[in-house]
Amino acid sequence: MARLNLAIIKEEVRAKLHNSSLSDTQLERWVDISQDRILRSVECDFLLDVKTITCVAAQREYFVESAFNRILHVLDNGTSDILSEISDRSIRNSDPDFSDTGDPTAYAITGYTEVMNQFTLASTIYAISSSAADASKTVRIRGLSAGVERTETLALSGSTSTLVYSPNQDLLARLSAVCVGNVTITEVTGGKVLNTIPPGMLRRTFMKIALYPIPTGTNTLKVLVYRNPYNLTDDEDIPDLPSGWENLVLTGVLIEAHRNAYEFDVADKMELLFARDIDQLKAQQGDTTNRTRRIRTEAKFGSATVFGRMPKIFGP
CA quadruple 172, 225, 296, 75: dihedral, nearest 10: -90
Helices (H), the chain: 6-17, 24-41, 88-94, 246-260, 264-285
Q: CB-hemisphere CA count at 13 Å for 75?
A: 10
pLDDT in tens, 1-58: 457 899 999 999 999 999 999 999 899 999 999 998 888 888 777 888 899 999 989 9
pLDDT, averaged across the chain:
84
DSSP label of 285? H
What residue spans define the domains of the chain?
Answer: 6-44+241-285, 49-112+210-228, 125-197
pLDDT in tens, 92-116: 888 899 999 999 999 999 888 887 8
114-124 residues labelled b (16+ CB within 10 A) or e (exposed): bbbebbeeebe
Q: Are 22 and 15 in contact (CB under 8 A)?
A: no
Model confidence pTM above 0.85? no
